[in-house]
Amino acid sequence: MVDLPTLAENLELPEGYRTEIINGSIVVSPTPTTGHADIVTVLQEILIMAGLGDQGLRTYQVITVEIPETGDRYVPDLMVMPKAAVHGKSGGGSQWIQPAEDLELAVEVVSPSSSLHDWKTKVRGYAQAGVPLYLVIDARKDEIALFSNPHKGEYRDVARALRDESVKLPDPFDIEIKVKSLFS
């Protein structure tokens, strides 16, 4: 019998599609649109300008992360983790799967097909893995939400901001993310 990760890795997909394992099911979705990619790029530039490299952190896009408790595999739109978590690995294990617990920040930009997963399922998964910060960016609502302080598989705190507001990313970032800066 073939296990779920092996099946997901070996699916023949049409060009422009990718797989994730969410809630124990294989989810096939199209790759992001240019508008989606632009939001990710703007946020990435904000994070880089804030001096993440000085703290030993780096931004990464479209890398698969695994939630250890469930075996789910997500492909966040953007993530921040220590450079050492990537460069410190020497040949062992898969080079395209990263343990979610290595992340300092996971970011998902909501698309029509991912709304339920981004707002509900992945919140639980990232919290279970102990990811300190999870940022959801929803251009359809002109809203961002920062989930923080994971404890026993749930985030204790959520900070939401609409179009003319901002959310503060705490240490090690210590920066304000203005909603309108992501959508302009």
> Which of 25-29, 81-85, 178-182 shows the lowest per-residue confidence on average (mean pLDDT)?
25-29
Alpha carbon distance, N-terminus to C-terminus of the chain: 49
Q: What is the distance between the alpha carbons of residues 103 and 114, in angstroms, rounded to a whole number?
A: 21
Residues in contact with 138: Cβ distance below 8 Å, sequence separation at least 6, in sequence order: 109, 110, 115, 118, 119, 144, 145
The CATH T-level fold of domain 32-182 is tt1808, chain A (3.90.1570)
The per-residue pLDDT for range 64-98, each reduced to its tens digit, is: 999 988 898 998 999 999 988 886 654 444 577 89
Sequence letter at residue 85: A
- Any idea where the domains of the chain sit in the sequence? 32-182
More confident residue, 112 or 85: 85
Whole-prediction pTM: 0.84
**CA–CA gap between residue 172 and residue 67 (Å, rounded):** 22
Task: Give 39-63 pLDDT, tens digit per residue.
Answer: 999 999 999 998 888 889 999 997 8
Burial 132-164 (b: 16+ CB within 10 A, else e): bbbbbbbbeebbbbbbbebeeeebeeebebeee
